[in-house]
Amino acid sequence: MVDGINGAQGIKPKDLTIDWNDCTANEILEYKDEGQEIPTAILSWAEDMAKNQAGADEITYEMSLNNPDQMSVTSTANTNMGTLLREEMDANGVPIADQASTFATQSEEYSNSVTTLESDMETILSQSEEKAADIEEYSNNLLSQIQTLKTKQESMQNNTSTQFAPIDALQIENQIRELATLGLSNIETDSQSVYSATNGINTAIDTATNASSIGTQAIDIGNELFNFNSITLNIIANHAISSGNNAINTAQAGKTTFNNTAQENTQNEDRVDNARNTVSTTSGTFGITTAQEEETQNEDDIQQEAVDNATRDNQPVAEVAQEATDKFEQDRAADKEQAELDPTLADTSITTDPNEILKRKERRGLT
């Protein structure tokens, strides 16, 4: 039964869920070579880092944000990007007309990036919703199988016609936990595409922020150019101002779309969390363990040892088995209480290794 459980089906969209913050410069350039569309600021940073070589394979974009010494001012993705780029140009003696042309070009590039990302939001959200629905369907199927086992277990627990009923009930308990443990692992794996959608959304929000910052500087420089009363410079100024205004307007519309998408994707994350928590609560399996349990025998061994001791000492097998079952339930309840208080604790006594499962069945004479 355990072997029949597979993860929720679906394809993770590589191009829409890449977390650029976790990529090094060389990784970003590799994505570029593969045809991935990369936010302008991040691509500029990667190209600058690659020129310097040092850190191109070790320093991620997020690391560089946290350490300004590791990145070029021109590629800093924050609300002051436009100001920082202007300051760098001034420091390098770039003529104001050239600055205006650069900001006009940057504004247009960012406008295009934001527009592209807006269209991507529908795909990101639909894929996230589809994966959340797959996980819900998978968890419902899992819960149905767990409930069937629980019903069978309750029947055995109430069966007084055989002395081995408590042992059989405990074996079913193990099946439930093995089934749930594997199921929770599958849910955790499949849910990553829902959470990673947030990375794409955050990247889009950063791009819109930078677009607005660049656009603002383009307008400011354009207005400065008008002071020179030159027909040629006026043409450049008009272009910079027009591009800047378009970048700001596009950024504002984009942010609205991106923020709405983020809110909707939060609902998908909640659906995934609810599916996981329902399986955990219903099965009593948290994928957790205590250090104390790591040092003790698993429940199969405890049960077998109790039966062996009863046979050796001529004690009633059913009574000893029931005591072993009661102890297991008490320990499990205590572990569950601990799990709710500290989810970092985990149960390694449960295994999905087919070889180990076979060995346990052989010890119990089930094969």
Using a pLDDT cut of 90, give the percent of the chain over it.
Answer: 26
- Residue range 17-21: mean pLDDT, rounded: 77
Most confident by average pLDDT, 63-67, 99-103, 227-231: 99-103
pLDDT of residue 175: 86
DSSP 8-state assignment for residue 24: B
Question: Looking at the predicted structure, is the pLDDT value of residue 135 above 80?
Answer: yes
pLDDT of amino acid 303: 58
Mean pLDDT score, 182-196: 86
The confidence band for 40, taking pLDDT boundaries of 50, 70 and 90, is low
Using a 10 angstrom Cβ sphere, with 0-12 exposed, 13-18 middle and 19 or more buried, the burial of residue 203 is buried
* Residue 296 per-residue DSSP state: S
pLDDT band at residue 341 under the 50/70/90 scheme: very low
pLDDT value, residue 254: 94
* 241 three-class SS: helix
Q: d(Cα 354, Cα 348) in Å, to the nearest integer?
A: 15
Task: List Cβ neighbours of 306 (8 Å cut-off, separation of 6 or more).
Answer: 320, 321, 323, 324
Q: What is the pLDDT of residue 349?
A: 39
Tokens of 126: 């639909």
CA distance 245 to 248: 5
Lowest mean pLDDT among 14-18, 118-122, 133-137: 14-18
Look over the chain and give the mean of its residue pLDDT values, rounded to a whole number. 75
Contact present, 360 and 177 (Cβ < 8 Å): no
Are 197 and 17 within 8 A, CB to CB?
yes
Max CA separation in the chain (angstroms)? 110
What's residue 72's pLDDT? 42
What distance in Å separates the CA atoms of residue 1 and residue 149, rounded to the nearest whole number? 11
Cα distance between residue 212 and residue 130, in whole Å? 33
The first and second tokens of residue 33, run together, are 């070579």
* Range of lowest pLDDT (17-21, 52-56, 70-74): 70-74
Query: Which pair of structure tokens corresponds to residue 25?
Result: 């410069």
**From 59-73, 287-301, 318-332, the region with the lowest mean pLDDT:** 287-301
List, for residues 197-214, the tens digit of each pLDDT value.
877 888 889 899 999 999
How many residues would you count in the chain?
Answer: 367
- Sign of dihedral through CA atoms 75, 76, 77, 81? negative
Q: Where are the domains of the chain?
A: 7-283, 291-363
Per residue in 86-98, pLDDT tens?
988 888 899 999 9
Two tokens, residue 364: 């119990």
Q: In whole angstroms, what is the distance from residue 96 CA to residue 327 CA?
A: 81
Counts of helices then strands in the chain (DSSP H, E):
12, 0
Measured distance CA(153)–CA(168) in Å, rounded: 8
What digits encode the pLDDT tens for the residues 297-334? 455 556 566 666 656 666 665 666 667 666 666 666 66
